Chains A and B, each alone.
Chain A
């Protein structure tokens, strides 16, 4: 008989060993220049400060288990970053999270935990939604099919971008160039452009909204800028949504539960 299984199944939450936190968080302002690996480190420190009962990898140098959605390129902002954190199932009591370590003595509802984590995170990062759920299903990274982006084009003319967009959408090909080692690949990314439109202007130039495929490869806003307005530069780009498919429907892994409490982002 499997001892581990028998002990776990007796847990009152009924989820056995499989319980995790799923977070949706934003990354806005100066911290957009922080790279993906560094974001993981920042979140790890915040989890430790709050005493969230995380789990660790095996081995010589155990690390906190974290699994992110699609990596966000450095310099991009986001309102839709996702993170799964497997928890120690023994620490879940009546749907609340019992903290350890520096958080010893604290028991939080998910909403309280969300606010506590926000206190511990640097300015610019904010947990917008947080749920406790059974582990399982495909990983975030595998299940995301597309992302919606909002970005401005520094130095581009609204009129000419508008024309370029219309032409691109009418055509069956949108040719992108990709540098791979020493060769330059040209490929048609038309099928990966689900939505593309101008949505106002910023002080830098026209604002564009685009929904771009994450499969078979991730298409980035910077590629579109080169196609739509050669010579212009990507201004500030923000990922506003990551989309998955659930029972044939396109939806977000988590939607923001509350209206965002926007921290001071100077």
Chain B
């Protein structure tokens, strides 16, 4: 075992925030090195502050380190100042746990949470001292893997990554470890890399791009076909049936330097079936699997005692939907060990489920930031995206919050949605203005922050066929809202740069040819593209031109029904005809109910894999419209037309 620490240490006084590179977190494993064991380097391709809190990485870190025949360490992308020092000193990428060189690990596995990190992935492989293209790596080189939400369209990174993992990693990571362990024992002789990759391609949920041929007809994609008969033509995602079997992380890492989400995190459920049509996470993580409330309570209590944190986040895709959320929040605040000084963060809130009751519970301790996501400015638009919350739902939630002592909240919207008209966009400003007016009834300090993101259509969603808005159009829409709220001092508008949205669009629905573009941008120094100080759209445009590819064709073009999509061989359970029908329903303004509380419409996510929702309560939480768009509190009917059930669904 070689530690690079003696060579790294002298570089650290010269760089910003050196504590990012020392490891030493409570919960970190430093005495796990076993020369005979299969080793993983779990790598987050962005800064330590962003990557350290990532729960997926921490869960896999613990599961692997519980195995006697394996161990895992962690690595994060060094910031550009350290990277320059490392390249000058010929110091390779290292783990923060024991500072071993990355290339000494059997597997380097990347978490893909956002598309704009792809150039950082390539950079990390290069910093590890390996050839960036998978086809050029030697037999005994580390295997490069990737997982996370963006892996559901693996093709743009197919040139660089040896294997992708689809879906929940808890179980499949052990199956991969077994296969790689056998390969390790053979001594990784010449010619063996192809054999181990072939064996991995047979593990359900694992995609090895080099085992598949891609056929084009001009710009059109014709097919992605396996090269061997024993390899599946479609790769099925992995799903753990019951979150209660996986109470991880048991020992959440406590960093010594401040990171984003610097608090205890307990995942209360996985999956979401609200069916928002723009939301990839909600489509690919189905079904809903709630953690038992008693287990949550235990994880909160043990976690706070072990870490000393005074804030806990109850995380999920929509935490207010958790059965009995009020009780869970109350139990957390009443935990005797905290002396009443624990604050609860509910990071993702549906406005129709955020009630005075929940607000009152949360506000008993220090008030955490509140973010609501109406997503669109008009009811018409919200029907199209199937975010079936009414204006009254939003105002009810906002009123709950202001009345319980909050002064400010954040409202999250998307712009550039399918069929969005200027009236819909301007509706964002109206909603924001009405919200601060409600706030003014309670406090002089009332304000809202409006966060406006440009919509990027994502694979495996009903909107995957939609042509993304041009950056000029997105900017025009941002300006519409900006001009309307400019005079209102209580409204602060933030927006995502339309240029970055465009670059994200290239990689989001790109095919294997986009690999050349990513490599070009990386070679021209385009790393940390998530960061405004490093992002440059002209690099991407130049790379597209150099590769002979059309930005318009990849980003702004509407797709056809019979078109082969680059991710058609990846299966998230959802039937393609279900998605197409939902896309047609969207354009027709039909809503679709949340199936966790209503009968199944067979999207495929459960039926394909023989699994079901795990939900403690058979009824939706009280208040609001609960996704039906109808005011359940008063029995008043809001005119949303739900698509007749009989004609929906799969084959």
Q: Measuring CB to CB, which residues of chain A are less than 8 angstroms from any residue of chain B? A: 30-31, 33-35, 37-38, 41-42, 44-49, 51, 56, 61-62, 74-75, 100-102, 104, 120, 122-124, 154, 233-235
Contact = CB atoms under 8 A, between A and B. Distances in A.
A61 B310 CA distance: 12
Contacts of A48: 308-310
B305 interface: yes
23 contacts: A30-B5, A30-B23, A31-B22, A31-B24, A33-B12, A34-B256, A35-B17, A35-B19, A37-B258, A38-B19, A38-B258, A45-B309, A46-B308, A48-B309, A62-B341, A75-B18, A101-B339, A104-B336, A122-B24, A122-B26, A122-B256, A123-B24, A234-B13
Given A101-B339, A104-B337, A34 B19 contact: yes
B13 A100 contact: no
Interface in B1-53: 5, 10, 12-13, 17-19, 21-26
A104 to B, nearest CB: 7
A104 B301 CA distance: 14
A254 to B, nearest CB: 24
A47 B339 CA distance: 13
Contact of A33 (B22, B307, B308, B337): B22
B254 interface: yes
A35 B336 CA distance: 32
B121 to A, nearest CB: 26
A124 B24 CA distance: 9
A123 B13 CA distance: 20
Interface string B328-353: 00000000111101000000000000
Most A-side CB within 10 Å, residue of B17, B19, B336, B341: B19
B308 A120 contact: yes
Nearest to A39: B256
Contact of A35 (B13, B257, B306, B310): B257
A154 to B, nearest CB: 7
A192 B35 CA distance: 53
B257 A101 contact: no
B256 A42 contact: yes
A21 B301 CA distance: 28
Contacts of A100: 339
- Most B-side CB within 10 Å, residue of A30, A37, A44, A104: A30
Contacts of B220: none
B24 A74 contact: no
A122 B256 CA distance: 8
A100 B366 CA distance: 19
Contacts of B307: 45, 49
B24 A49 contact: no
Interface of B: 5, 10, 12-13, 17-19, 21-26, 254, 256-258, 304-310, 336-339, 341, 366
Given A38-B257, A75-B12, 5 more contacts: A33-B19, A49-B305, A56-B341, A101-B336, A101-B339
Given A74-B18, A100-B339, A101-B338, A30 B366 contact: no
A222 B309 CA distance: 35
B437 to A, nearest CB: 23
B258 A30 contact: no
The CB with the most chain B CB atoms within 10 A, among A33, A37, A44, A122, is that of A33
B78 to A, nearest CB: 14
Interface centre among B306, B309, B337 (most CB of A within 10 A): B337
B252 to A, nearest CB: 12
Contacts of B5: 30
B258 A41 contact: yes
A75 B13 contact: yes
Given A48-B310, A122-B24, A34 B254 contact: no
Contacts of A56: 341
Contacts of A30: 5, 22-24
Contacts of A62: 341, 366
Contacts of A38: 19, 256-258
Contacts of B338: 101
A102 B337 contact: yes
Contacts of A34: 19, 22, 256-257
Given A101-B337, A102-B337, A33 B18 contact: yes
A45 B254 contact: yes
A46 B304 CA distance: 11
A45 to B, nearest CB: 3
Nearest to A236: B9
Contact of B305 (A33, A42, A44, A102): A102
Nearest to A33: B18
A115 B176 CA distance: 44
A31 B28 CA distance: 14
B256 A31 contact: yes
A147 to B, nearest CB: 19
For the complex of A and B, the 7 pairs showing the least CB-CB separation, nearest first, are A45-B308, A33-B18, A49-B308, A30-B22, A48-B308, A102-B337, A75-B13
Nearest to A51: B337
A102 B296 CA distance: 18
B630 to A, nearest CB: 38
A44 B256 CA distance: 12
A75 B341 CA distance: 33
A154 B13 CA distance: 13
A233 B24 contact: no
B468 to A, nearest CB: 40
Nearest to A29: B24
B386 to A, nearest CB: 38
Contacts of A33: 12, 18-19, 21-22
A144 to B, nearest CB: 24
Nearest to A41: B258
A41 B366 CA distance: 17
B336 A61 contact: no
Contacts of B305: 49, 102
Of listed B23, B308, B337, residue having the most chain A CB within 10 A: B308
A154 B257 contact: no
A237 B258 CA distance: 24
A25 B384 CA distance: 60
Contacts of A124: 24
B310 to A, nearest CB: 6
Contacts of A123: 24
A211 to B, nearest CB: 22
A122 B338 CA distance: 21
Nearest to A37: B258
A104 B19 CA distance: 33
A26 B623 CA distance: 54
Output the residue of A44, A48, A62 with the most chain B CB within 10 A: A48
A124 B25 CA distance: 11
Nearest to B407: A60
B416 to A, nearest CB: 37
A42 B307 CA distance: 10
Contacts of B257: 34-35, 38
A37 B18 CA distance: 14
Contacts of A61: 366
Contacts of B306: 49
Interface centre among B12, B24, B25 (most CB of A within 10 A): B24
Contacts of A42: 256
A74 B17 CA distance: 9
B288 to A, nearest CB: 33
B10 A44 contact: no
A120 B309 CA distance: 13
B336 to A, nearest CB: 7
Most buried by B among A34, A100, A123: A34
A53 to B, nearest CB: 9
A116 B257 CA distance: 22
A32 to B, nearest CB: 9
Contacts of B19: 33-35, 38, 74
Nearest to A49: B308
A62 B10 CA distance: 39
A154 B254 CA distance: 33
A56 B12 CA distance: 35
A62 B305 CA distance: 20
